[in-house]
């Protein structure tokens, strides 16, 4: 029984809304569903059959597309929960693979379950040797996200034994493969772009450490992993692991609703994430801070951000859902200090600038009235830049982390007995039917 079925049974008569069609005077009543937390939801599934009308909601600002038990956001209070746990607690106390297990299975792993999961993921990190040859087909200046779209989709051509979406074991293996191979493929995209040899994964290392080694190690010298940097990388992965029904996750669900294989669906998610309105904002923050240049120019840029005639916006500020401090930004602010301290970069001018910009904006009526707070991208770029990643890799790192969220949401959709192919309707405003004109009469 799905959550929706259960909820329908517990609905009382007053849990309904009535729609009055003023054109015909007819009344229609729809059930109201109650989630475990969050706003009530009007069940409009019978709207078209009963009324002959569709809803119109571009950007889906008022539309719930699915029934999900994975992630909950209260944007007004600045709360993000995964399976009921606060993101701050997970970031402080868990490692990334614990959070992956939680997202996939619904509960935090026991010690034994964690060890088993770590072992499984570690033993799927290598990619098929033939996949390496795909990289050589790209130009050396190819954007790593372009490479990631291509090679992730190409996994479907290598792992035929985990593309039967009706087989639960195959779905599980595909999930493990995607979580395990994504860092390997991302590191290879980076190595290819800088002309260095690929570094094979190392099963003895933790997820974030292994990734850092694959990115930064070279065959000519030992690679030492700074524990503060590895912890910061792990936190960045945790903070980006899932975020409810955002654009890329909805893309994965929509692609998967046609029963496309999971590798193809995740490639679709990567394509959606690539857009600057979604996964690309942390890169934009660094560009903005670099353009501002010094603390004494902050006022000028704040003025520009407030000017309705100037298209400039404070990058890393504001969010469609959060109308309070993004809880992930709080964790990353602390983490930025820890990483820069560990790397001896306490006086990093970008961090100083970011802190000053945040201080001034949070005291300014314009930002206060519009509830514009720093979002997750405000500090993540500073950390990633300090670690040594080029800006083109920022969105790739987001994709590595979000893969578990995408695949958990995809699994949930496939296992939902109410699942149907996603097929939105439209408000048609083109020409009504008209007679065909032969070419000589046009």
Catalytic residues: 319, 377
In this complex, which beta carbon is closest to ligand ACO, that of residue 183 or of residue 279? 279
Nearest distance in Å: CB 372, ligand ACO: 5
Three-state SS for 420?
A: coil
Nearest distance in Å: CB 373, ligand ACO: 10
In this complex, which beta carbon is closest to ligand ACO, that of residue 263 or of residue 379? 379
In this complex, which beta carbon is closest to ligand ACO, that of residue 143 or of residue 306? 306
Q: Report the alpha-carbon distance of residue 67 to residue 44 in Å, rounded.
A: 13
Q: Report the alpha-carbon distance of residue 259 to residue 165 in Å, rounded.
A: 7
Position with the least CB separation from ligand ACO: 318
Nearest distance in Å: CB 339, ligand ACO: 20
Nearest distance in Å: CB 201, ligand ACO: 28
Cβ 406 vs Cβ 248: under 8 Å:
yes
In this complex, which beta carbon is closest to ligand ACO, that of residue 143 or of residue 278? 278
Contacts 24+ apart (CB under 8 A), 225-232: 226/342, 226/343, 228/338, 228/339, 228/341, 228/342, 228/343, 229/339, 229/342, 229/343, 229/387, 230/206, 231/338, 232/335, 232/338, 232/339, 232/383, 232/387
Distance from CA of residue 229 to its chain's centroid?
A: 22
Nearest distance in Å: CB 307, ligand ACO: 9
Q: Report the alpha-carbon distance of residue 69 to residue 58 in Å, rounded.
A: 25
Q: Report the alpha-carbon distance of residue 390 to residue 59 in Å, rounded.
A: 32
Q: Go through 263-289 and write b for each residue having 16 or more CB atoms within 10 A of its CB, e for each that does not.
A: bbbbbbbbbbbbeeeebbbbbbbbebb
In this complex, which beta carbon is closest to ligand ACO, that of residue 240 or of residue 253? 240
Q: Report the alpha-carbon distance of residue 169 to residue 192 in Å, rounded.
A: 34
In this complex, which beta carbon is closest to ligand ACO, that of residue 311 or of residue 438? 311
In this complex, which beta carbon is closest to ligand ACO, that of residue 30 or of residue 317? 317
Distances (CA, A) of 227 to 224, 233, 261, 366: 9, 10, 37, 40
Nearest distance in Å: CB 303, ligand ACO: 11
Three-state SS for 72?
A: strand
In the chain the first and final C-alpha atoms are separated, in Å, by 58
Q: Report the alpha-carbon distance of residue 61 to residue 340 in Å, rounded.
A: 38
Nearest Cα residue to 377 out of 295, 313, 307, 284: 284
Residues that bind ligand ACO (CB under 6 A): 278, 281, 305, 313-320, 370, 372, 375-377
Q: Tell me the Ramachandran region of residue 438: left when phi exceeds 0, alpha when psi lies from -120 to 50, beta otherwise.
A: beta
Alpha helices (runs of H) in 160-204, residue ranges in sequence order: 168-194
Nearest distance in Å: CB 319, ligand ACO: 5
Q: Report the alpha-carbon distance of residue 120 to residue 140 in Å, rounded.
A: 33
In this complex, which beta carbon is closest to ligand ACO, that of residue 213 or of residue 253? 253
Nearest distance in Å: CB 365, ligand ACO: 12
The single residue listed with the structure tokens 């974030």 is 208
């Amino acid at each position: 029984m799905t959550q929706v079925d259960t909820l329908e049974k517990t609905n009382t008569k007053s849990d309904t809304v009535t729609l009055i069609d003023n054109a015909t005077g007819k009344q229609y009543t729809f059930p109201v569903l109650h989630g475990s937390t969050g706003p009530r939801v009007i069940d409009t599934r019978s709207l078209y059959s009963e009324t002959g009308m569709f809803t119109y909601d571009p950007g889906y600002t008022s539309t719930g597309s699915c029934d999900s038990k994975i992630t909950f956001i209260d944007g007004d209070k600045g709360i993000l929960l995964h399976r009921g746990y606060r993101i701050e607690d997970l970031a402080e106390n868990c490692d990334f693979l614990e959070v992956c297990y939680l997202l996939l299975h619904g509960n935090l792993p026991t010690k034994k379950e964690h060890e088993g999961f770590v072992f499984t993921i570690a033993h799927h990190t290598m990619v098929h040797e033939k996949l390496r040859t795909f990289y050589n087909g790209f130009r050396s200046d190819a954007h790593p996200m372009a490479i990631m779209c291509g090679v992730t989709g190409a996994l479907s051509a290598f792992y035929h034994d985990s593309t039967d979406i009706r087989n639960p074991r195959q779905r599980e293996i595909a999930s493990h493969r995607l979580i395990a191979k994504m860092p390997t493929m991302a590191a290879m995209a980076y190595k290819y772009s800088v002309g260095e040899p690929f570094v094979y994964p190392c099963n003895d290392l933790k997820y974030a450490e292994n990734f850092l080694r694959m990115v930064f190690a070279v065959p000519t010298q030992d690679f030492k992993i700074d524990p503060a940097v590895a912890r910061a990388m792990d936190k960045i992965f945790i903070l980006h692991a899932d975020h409810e029904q955002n654009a890329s996750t909805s893309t994965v669900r929509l692609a998967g609703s046609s029963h496309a294989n999971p590798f193809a669906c995740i490639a679709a998610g990567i394509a959606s994430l690539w857009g600057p309105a979604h996964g690309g904002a942390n890169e934009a923050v660094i560009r903005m801070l670099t353009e501002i240049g010094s603390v004494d120019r902050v006022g000028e840029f704040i003025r520009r951000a407030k000017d309705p005639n100037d298209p400039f916006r404070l990058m890393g500020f504001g969010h469609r859902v959060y109308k309070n401090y993004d809880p992930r930004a709080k964790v990353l602010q602390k983490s930025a200090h820890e990483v820069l301290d560990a790397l001896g970069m306490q006086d990093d001018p970008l961090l100083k600038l970011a802190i000053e910009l945040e201080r001034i904006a949070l005291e300014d009526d314009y930002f206060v009235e519009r509830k514009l707070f720093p979002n997750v991208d405000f500090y993540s770029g500073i950390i990633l830049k300090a670690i040594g990643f080029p800006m083109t890799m920022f969105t790739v790192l987001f994709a590595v982390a979000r893969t578990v969220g995408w695949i958990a949401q995809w699994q949930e959709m496939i296992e939902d007995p109410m699942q149907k192919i996603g097929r939105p309707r439209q408000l048609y405003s083109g020409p009504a039917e008209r007679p065909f004109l032969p070419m000589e009469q046009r």
